[in-house]
Amino acid sequence: MWAGASEKLKSSRIGVLGGTFDPVHLSHLQLAQHAIKEVGLKEILFIPAAQPPHKYRVTTPFLHRLGMVEAMCRNHDNFTCSDIENRLQKPSYTVDTLFALKNELPTGTSLFFIIGMDAFLELMTWKSYRTVLTMAQMVVSPRLGYSPESFNNFLDHLGYKGKHRHWQGEGDTKDITLLSAAPKEICSRKIRKILAEGGDASEFLSPEVANYINENNLYN
């Protein structure tokens, strides 16, 4: 089906976590673990972006970013990754990725799109964002510097009603869940800078990812 998937994706409730993953780091890992614990997900599908529409430049080639995610996933039975965005037309739009996933996954699979609050509050700038809201339940992670008031106001604007970290929309839109805990704030740009200067960034990376970076001489 896709890189690294094999027979892992057996659950009907799959979390989807996208990003440039340049590199994938412990904050991404913690975010996935929080979603599993709080939303009851059994599997997390990591999707490296091929060409993100909101970023002008991605430093590292797609296949190395995919390789780092694959390396991390090997030690987690409920994690896998997909190269699907590299097979789709560029740039990488979430709505197109979700449509493609729906076509590849078994009928009846429910998708839960895991996203940081900073990115979620930019949802209205996305291509066909209303369609996105009908295709996957949003699982939003808190972020430092973003108030609950701004989040609630945005949900009101979208037509969602709810409480206790769970909101329901109108019509065929899927629910939105706010995670209770935020992952540790880690900046990929900072990691790249440390490595480019010959420093040690292992405190921000899983051992598998750190080894992949060293073996492939990335960010030097």
For 61-87, what is each residue's pLDDT tens digit? 999 999 999 999 999 999 999 999 999
Q: What is the DSSP letter of 89?
A: P
Burial of 180 (0-12, 13-18, 19+ CB in 10 A): exposed
Rounded Cα distance, 94 and 13, in Å? 18
Indicate whether 11 pLDDT > 90: no
Indicate whether 2 pLDDT > 80: no
Residue 9: band (very low, low, confident or very high) from pLDDT cuts 50, 70, 90: low
**Averaged pLDDT of the chain:** 91
Rounded Cα distance, 85 and 82, in Å? 8
Rounded Cα distance, 108 and 126, in Å? 25
C-beta separation of 195 from 201 below 8 A: yes
Please tell me the pTM assigned to this model: 0.92
- The rounded percent of the chain whose pLDDT value lies above 90 is 79
For 85-143, what is each residue's pLDDT tens digit? 999 988 889 999 999 999 999 988 999 999 999 999 999 999 999 999 999 999 999 99
Indicate whether 199 pLDDT > 90: yes
Rounded Cα distance, 189 and 185, in Å? 12
Residue 6: band (very low, low, confident or very high) from pLDDT cuts 50, 70, 90: very low
The predicted structure's pLDDT at residue 5: 46
Task: State which fold the 13-183 domain adopts.
Answer: Rossmann fold (3.40.50)
Indicate whether 155 pLDDT > 50: yes
Residue type at position 178: L
The predicted structure's pLDDT at residue 92: 85
User: Strand 13-19 and strand 110-116: pairing?
Assistant: parallel
